[in-house]
Amino acid sequence: MQKNRRKRPKRTIGLNLILWLCFLLFAIILIVIFTVVQNYQINEHYRSREKENLCEAGGVLKQELTKRDPAEASAILLSAANRYSVSAYLFSLNGEFIFPVKPGGNNDEYRQTFEFVKGKFDGLDSDKKEKAQLVFSFETYAGYATIVNLGNKNCYLYLSSSFDHLIEMTNDTLWMSLVTALLATVLAFVVSGFVSMAITKPVTDVTERAKELARGNYEAGFTRNYFFTELNQLSDALNYASSEISKTDKMQKELIANVSHDFKTPLTMIKAYAAMIAEISGNDPVKRVKHTQIIIDETDRLTALVEDVLDLSKLQSGIETIERTVFNLSEDLYGVVNRFGFLTSRGYKIETDIDDDLYTYASRERTGQVFYNLIGNAINYTGEDMSVVIRLKKKESGVRFEVIDTGRGIPPEQVDTIWQRYYRSGETHKRPIKGSGLGLSIVESVLKKHGIPFGVQSEVGKGSCFWVDFPDPPEDEKSTEANGD
Ligand code: ADP
């Protein structure tokens, strides 16, 4: 059998370290790019400048040597070599050294230079040779070669310029880059420290407050004077969540208190009357019937309460799916109104204005529950005249149901709250229909699940009108109804 492997907690990295690494990486990338670009540019610039310098020196020398006496050649070459900081060589076409006359150092090197120059010119067409100015670029130096006419004799002039300065400069830049990288590392360390402190401190602060909230302290408000907009937004969201959780928590507590209270009252009555029957009225048939009826009534009340609680939890948990059918709304409404018929003997006037044969497409059972709860409330809360008006009228689109009472009305600030679970306005009210305090919540849940618009218009002291706008049945569903549903 395979063992249940425990999931290892994911390793987390501190914000400080991440920030430091980011800063460091950023600084290093920047320095590397900068060094590479800088080196490349300096190199290119220096090399092309040296080539231009060689060409210029070569051009000047070519003119001067042609014009002047061959005896002055050495002096001219020496002065030009100094002026342009280049090394100059003059060879006869068959390889004799004209300048320097006695080459110092390694003789082979001069010979190799001659061979190199000669090789380059040998490769050219003879008519191009005299005018040609050849420029060569090597890793450590650049060279220039041309043919000059000295005392009516053609010679090879070769100039070279070393890149020693450039190499030195490149090394210096490399060192500077290394030092800058080191400084950047230190700076990244310091800056990331400050930045992470600026971020982590408020984050820790918010976390602490969130923990307080989790412990049930809804008063731990989230301040919104942080430097970062995102943290202020988070605070706003948490403040909102906190107020919503606190409301739900309050409602939950109220619900439990109210439900247990409403369970307790009938249970106490049942126990008291059962004891009374056992001890006193058992042998008195009239009293016994009266007491037994009270027990039955209270049991009904308990059952209704339990049913309402179950209904609401089913509706709100989303277990129940709405089974829509097309049905005759007018007939069903008459059916519900008739259930309240017994109240006419107690002086209630239930006036109806119901158009016949109005259809809708909804859950039939749940719609009946909506009618029952709204009419029951109207009867419970209507005024001294004890009258209630029930209307069902065809609208341009859909069917409007209205139940109007002449009671105390609902203050505007309570219009939204009456739909909440177990909301009851402070007043105690004598009601002919027993309410669980969940009636309007069930109405709201049912209609919202259907997507049916509903609401209440109320004026304090004058009464209320609860309304629901039922939809017309869709065309395809209408035909199934016509075929005998
Ligand atoms: P219950 O009527 O059992 O208290 P409901 O959920 O049906 O529970 O109603 C919630 C609250 O809304 C009532 O306690 C009452 O304060 C208010 N309410 C409902 N219907 C009316 C009405 N027609 N007129 C005035 N107030 C009403």
The pLDDT tens digits along the chain (485 residues) read 444 555 666 777 777 778 778 888 888 888 888 888 888 888 888 889 999 999 999 999 988 888 888 888 888 988 988 999 999 999 888 888 888 866 555 677 788 888 989 998 988 888 888 888 999 988 888 999 999 988 888 899 999 998 888 888 888 888 887 888 788 878 878 887 888 788 888 888 888 888 888 888 877 788 878 788 888 888 889 888 888 888 778 777 777 777 777 788 788 889 988 998 988 887 888 888 988 998 998 898 888 888 888 887 777 776 777 889 999 999 999 999 998 888 888 899 999 999 999 999 999 999 999 999 999 999 999 999 999 999 999 999 999 999 999 999 999 988 888 887 665 555 555 556 666 678 898 899 899 999 999 999 999 999 999 999 999 999 876 655 544 44
Nearest-CA residue for atom 17 of ligand 1: 418
Q: How far is the CA of 388 from the centre of ligand 1 (A)?
A: 15
Return the best residue to mutate from 308, 350, 424, 434 for the ligand 1 pocket (most ligand atoms within 8 A of CB). 424
Scored b (16 or more CB within 10 A) or e, 221-232 reads ebeeebeeeebb
Residue nearest to ligand 1 atom 8, measured at CA:
437
| Cα–ligand 1 centroid distance for 192 (angstroms) | 60
CA distance 272 to 422: 27
Instruction: Give the distance (Å) from ligand 1 centre to CA of residue 46.
Output: 92
Instruction: Give the amino acid at 1.
Output: M
State both tokens at 90.
Answer: 């003059």
Query: What's the pTM?
Result: 0.52
Tell me the best of 255, 418, 422, 466 to mutate to test the pocket of ligand 1, counting ligand atoms within 8 Å of each CB and taking the most. 418
- Phi, psi angle pair for 83, to nearest 5°: -60, -45
Centroid of ligand 1 to alpha carbon of 267 (angstroms): 24
Distance CA 376, CA 340 (A): 8
Q: From the CA of 348, how far away is ligand 1's center (Å)?
A: 18
Q: What are the residues whose beta carbons fall under 8 Å from the beta carbon of 399, sequence distance 6 or more?
A: 329, 358, 359, 360, 392, 393, 469, 470, 472
Q: Which residues lie with the beta carbon below 6 Å from any ligand 1 atom?
A: 373, 377-378, 380-381, 405, 407, 410, 418, 423-425, 435-441, 464
**99 beta partners:** 90
